[in-house]
C-alpha cells in the first residue's frame, strides 16, 4: 500500500506549491510565472518522489530541506517581486502550515485503525483543497495588500517562521521519524498548537501596521486637499482685491482713454486699453476642470510651478463620471505634480518645463512630462528609485492607487525628460 503514501506525497507537494502561488507576488505576469514554475518545480517534485521510492520516508524526511525546500526557495527568489523578508515569510508560512498537515496526518495514520496509509491519504485529499479554498477566498487579497502597503518589519517575522519550520522538521524526523518515537508526539502536538497562535499574533501586528499606514495616507490626503483649497481661497481673495482696486481705477482710466481719443492720440489710448486688459487677465481665476477638489489641486500645484519659473503647458479634460473617488484621484495628480516640480528645481530657469495632459474618453488617461537632471533608476516594479530620506512615498502611493483601481501606469526617463503615464 506504499502507493497511497507516494500519491499522498505528490499530492501534498503540488498543493504546497498551489498554496504558495496564491500568496506569492511574482515579478512576471501570471502566464509566464506559471510556465516557469512548471518547468522548474515539476521535475523537482518527480526527483523527490523517486528519492522517496528508492530511499524511504525516513531518509527523505531528513534530507527534504536540501532536496526540495532550498531549491524551491532559490527559484522563487529569482522570480519574486519582493526579494526581502516578505518572500521568506510567505515561503515559510506555506511550508510550516503544510508541514503541520503532513505531520498530523502521519500521526493520525499511525494511531487510527486501518494503517497502510489509507487514513493519511484520505485526510490529505480533503485538508489541502480545504486550506486552499479558505486561503483563496479569505486570505489571498488581504495578504497581497499587506505585502504592498507594509514594506518593513518582515525580517523578524520571517526569521521566527523559519525557526519554527526548522524546529518542526527536526522534531518530526530526528533521530528517526516521530511515529517511531511515540513518547515525543505530545510535545510535537503542543508545538503544532503553538504555531497557528504565533501566526495569528503576527497577522494581528501586520494588520495594525496596515491600519497605521492607511491612517497616514488619509492624513496625507487631507493635507493635500486642505493645502489646495487654502491656496485656492488665497487666489480668490487676491483676485477679488485686485478687482476691487481695478474697479476703482477703471473709471479714471476710461476718462483718460476718452480724452486721448478726443485729442487724436489713438496709439496712447490703445496702449492704455491693452494695459488695462492685461491687468484684468492677471486677476482672472484659472479653472482647470469642473471637479472642485481636482481643480483646486491643479490650480495649487501649477501656480506653484509658475511661481518657481517653470514653463507650464496644461490641457486637462476630465469625464463627468470619474472612475475613482475624486479625493483619491487628487492624490495621484498631487504626488505626480509635486515630484515634477521637485525635479525641475535642480535645473536652470531656461530648462524647466512641465507638460500636463489629461483626457476623459475613451478612458481616463493622464500624462505628465517634466525636465530633470541626472540619472533615474527603476526597481523591479517599474517605480523610480529614490535614495533621499522622506522621498519616494508619492510613487508608492500612486502604485497603491493603481493597484486598487486596476489602473495601468508607467514611468520613463530619457534624454532629460521624465514621463509618467496612467490609464484607467
* Cα–Cα distance, 147 to 152 (Å, whole number): 9
What SS3 state is found at 216?
helix
Q: Which residue has the higher pLDDT, 11 or 115?
A: 11
How much is the average pLDDT of 111-131?
Answer: 86
Contact 322, 329 (CB under 8 A): yes
Alpha helices in 116-184 (DSSP H): 118-134, 140-149, 154-173
Same domain, 10 and 154: yes
Cell numbers that stand for 357 in this block: 495632459
Least confident of 198-202, 239-243, 394-398: 239-243
* Cα–Cα distance, 28 to 37 (Å, whole number): 11
Q: What is the predicted pLDDT for the residue at 389?
A: 47
pLDDT in tens, 359-380: 988 889 999 999 999 888 887 6
How much is the average pLDDT of 275-297?
Answer: 69
Q: Is pLDDT of 272 > 70?
A: no
Enumerate the β-bridge partners of residue 423: 365, 408
Question: By 3-state DSSP, what share of the chain in percent is helix, strand and coil, each rounded to 5?
Answer: 70, 10, 20
The secondary element (H helix, E strand) that includes residue 99 is: helix 85-111
Within 10 Å of residue 352's Cβ, how many Cβ atoms? Answer: 22
Asked if the bond preceding 424 is cis, omega within 30° of 0, the reply is no
**Eight-state DSSP code of residue 182:** G
How much is the average pLDDT of 291-318?
Answer: 87
What SS3 state is found at 193?
helix
Q: Does residue 205 form part of some domain?
A: no
**Eight-state DSSP code of residue 329:** H
The secondary element (H helix, E strand) that includes residue 254 is: helix 185-262
Of 180, 214, 245, the last residue of a domain is: 180
Residue with cell 510567505: 90
**Eight-state DSSP code of residue 264:** T
Q: What is the predicted pLDDT for the residue at 390?
A: 46
Least confident of 65-69, 145-149, 189-193, 347-351: 145-149
Q: Does residue 324 form part of some domain?
A: yes
How much is the average pLDDT of 82-100?
Answer: 92
The torsion angles phi and psi of 289, rounded to 5 degrees, stand at -160, 175
Cell numbers that stand for 332 in this block: 495621484
* Cα–Cα distance, 259 to 257 (Å, whole number): 5
Report the candidate in 408, 403, 410, 300 with the shortest Cα–Cα distance to residue 364.
408
Q: Does residue 351 form part of some domain?
A: yes
Least confident of 77-81, 201-205, 294-298: 294-298
Q: pLDDT class for 292, splitting at 50, 70, 90?
A: confident
pLDDT in tens, 211-232: 887 777 666 665 665 565 666 5
Of 180, 205, 233, the last residue of a domain is: 180
**What range defines the domain where residue 307 resides?**
286-424
Least confident of 14-18, 120-124, 329-333, 368-372: 329-333
The secondary element (H helix, E strand) that includes residue 223 is: helix 185-262
Q: Is pLDDT of 167 > 60?
A: yes
How much is the average pLDDT of 265-291?
Answer: 67
Q: pLDDT class for 325, splitting at 50, 70, 90?
A: confident
Q: Which residue has the higher pLDDT, 292 or 224?
A: 292
CATH code, domain with 412? 3.30.565.10
Mean pLDDT of the chain: 84
Enumerate the β-bridge partners of residue 422: 366, 409
pLDDT in tens, 21-30: 999 888 888 8
Q: From the centroid of its chain, how far is CA 137?
A: 20
List the end-to-end C-alpha distance of the chain, in Å, as a whole number: 57
Torsion over CA: 323, 327, 331, 334 (sign): positive
Q: Does residue 64 form part of some domain?
A: yes
Reported as half-sphere exposure (CB side, CA atoms, 13 A), residue 286 has a value of: 15
Contact 289, 316 (CB under 8 A): yes
How much is the average pLDDT of 128-132?
Answer: 94
Of 131, 148, 180, the last residue of a domain is: 180
Q: Does residue 140 form part of some domain?
A: yes
Cell numbers that stand for 156 in this block: 523578524
Same domain, 151 and 291: no
The secondary element (H helix, E strand) that includes residue 370 is: strand 365-371
Q: Does residue 190 form part of some domain?
A: no
Least confident of 82-86, 99-103, 162-166, 374-378: 374-378
Q: Which residue has the higher pLDDT, 53 or 370?
A: 370
Segment 204-207 long-range contacts (CB within 8 Å, at least 24 positions apart): 205/157, 206/146, 206/150, 206/153, 206/157, 207/146
Question: What's the structural domain count of the chain?
Answer: 2
Q: pLDDT class for 31, splitting at 50, 70, 90?
A: confident
Q: pLDDT class for 175, splitting at 50, 70, 90?
A: confident
Give one DSSP letter per residue of 267-323, joined into a string.
HHHHHHHHHHHHHHHHTPPP---S-HHHHHHHHHHHHHHHHTT-EEEEEE---SS-S
* Cα–Cα distance, 71 to 75 (Å, whole number): 6
Enumerate residues 6+ apart whose C-beta is below 8 A from 290. Answer: 318, 320
Look at strands 365-371 and 353-359 and give their pairing.
Answer: antiparallel
Q: What is the predicted pLDDT for the residue at 334?
A: 87
Contact 67, 169 (CB under 8 A): no
Q: Does residue 104 form part of some domain?
A: yes
* Cα–Cα distance, 387 to 295 (Å, whole number): 32
How much is the average pLDDT of 92-104?
Answer: 92
Q: What is the predicted pLDDT for the residue at 61?
A: 84
Look at strands 311-316 and 353-359 and give their pairing.
Answer: parallel
Q: Does residue 208 form part of some domain?
A: no
Q: What is the predicted pLDDT for the residue at 77?
A: 92
Least confident of 52-61, 144-153, 216-225, 408-417: 216-225
Q: What is the predicted pLDDT for the residue at 293?
A: 79
* Cα–Cα distance, 97 to 110 (Å, whole number): 20
Amino acid at each position: 500500500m506504499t502507493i497511497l503514501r507516494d500519491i499522498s506525497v505528490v499530492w501534498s507537494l503540488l498543493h504546497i506549491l498551489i498554496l504558495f502561488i496564491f500568496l506569492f507576488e511574482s515579478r512576471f505576469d501570471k502566464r509566464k510565472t506559471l510556465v516557469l514554475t512548471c518547468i522548474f518545480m515539476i521535475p523537482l517534485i518527480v526527483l523527490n518522489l523517486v528519492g522517496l521510492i528508492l530511499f524511504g520516508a525516513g531518509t527523505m524526511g531528513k534530507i527534504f530541506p536540501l532536496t526540495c525546500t532550498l531549491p524551491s526557495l532559490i527559484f522563487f527568489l529569482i522570480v519574486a517581486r519582493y526579494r526581502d523578508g516578505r518572500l521568506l515569510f510567505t515561503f515559510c508560512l506555506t511550508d510550516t502550515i503544510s508541514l503541520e498537515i503532513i505531520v498530523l496526518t502521519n500521526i493520525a495514520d499511525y494511531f487510527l485503525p486501518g494503517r497502510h496509509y489509507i487514513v493519511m491519504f484520505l485526510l490529505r485529499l480533503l485538508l489541502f483543497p480545504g486550506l486552499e479554498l479558505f486561503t483563496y477566498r479569505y486570505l489571498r487579497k488581504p495578504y497581497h495588500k499587506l505585502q504592498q502597503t507594509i514594506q518593513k518589519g518582515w525580517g523578524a517575522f520571517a526569521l521566527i517562521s523559519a525557526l519554527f519550520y526548522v524546529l518542526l522538521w527536526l522534531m518530526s524526523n530526528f533521530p528517526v521519524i516521530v511515529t517511531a518515537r511515540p513518547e515525543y508526539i505530545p510535545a510535537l502536538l503542543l508545538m503544532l498548537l503553538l504555531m497557528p497562535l504565533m501566526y495569528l499574533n503576527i497577522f494581528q501586528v501586520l494588520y495594525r501596521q496596515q491600519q497605521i499606514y492607511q491612517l497616514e495616507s488619509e492624513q496625507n490626503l487631507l493635507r493635500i486637499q486642505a493645502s489646495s483649497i487654502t491656496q485656492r481661497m488665497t487666489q480668490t481673495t487676491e483676485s477679488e482685491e485686485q478687482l476691487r482696486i481695478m474697479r476703482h481705477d477703471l473709471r479714471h482710466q476710461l476718462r483718460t482713454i476718452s480724452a486721448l481719443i478726443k485729442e487724436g492720440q489713438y496709439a496712447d489710448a490703445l496702449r492704455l486699453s491693452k494695459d488695462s486688459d492685461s491687468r484684468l487677465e492677471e486677476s482672472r481665476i484659472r479653472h482647470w476642470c469642473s471637479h472642485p477638489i481636482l481643480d483646486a489641486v491643479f490650480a495649487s500645484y501649477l501656480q506653484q510651478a509658475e511661481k518657481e519659473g517653470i514653463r507650464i503647458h496644461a490641457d486637462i479634460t476630465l469625464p463627468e463620471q470619474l472612475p475613482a473617488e475624486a479625493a483619491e484621484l487628487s492624490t495621484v495628480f498631487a504626488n505626480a505634480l509635486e515630484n515634477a516640480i521637485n525635479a525641475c528645481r535642480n535645473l536652470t530657469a531656461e530648462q524647466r518645463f512641465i507638460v500636463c495632459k489629461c483626457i476623459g474618453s475613451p478612458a481616463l488617461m493622464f500624462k505628465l512630462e517634466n525636465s530633470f537632471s541626472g540619472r533615474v533608476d527603476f526597481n523591479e516594479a517599474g517605480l523610480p528609485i529614490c535614495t533621499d530620506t522622506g522621498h519616494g512615498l508619492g510613487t508608492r502611493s500612486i502604485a497603491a492607487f493603481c493597484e486598487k483601481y486596476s489602473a495601468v501606469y508607467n514611468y520613463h526617463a530619457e534624454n532629460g525628460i521624465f514621463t509618467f503615464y496612467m490609464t484607467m
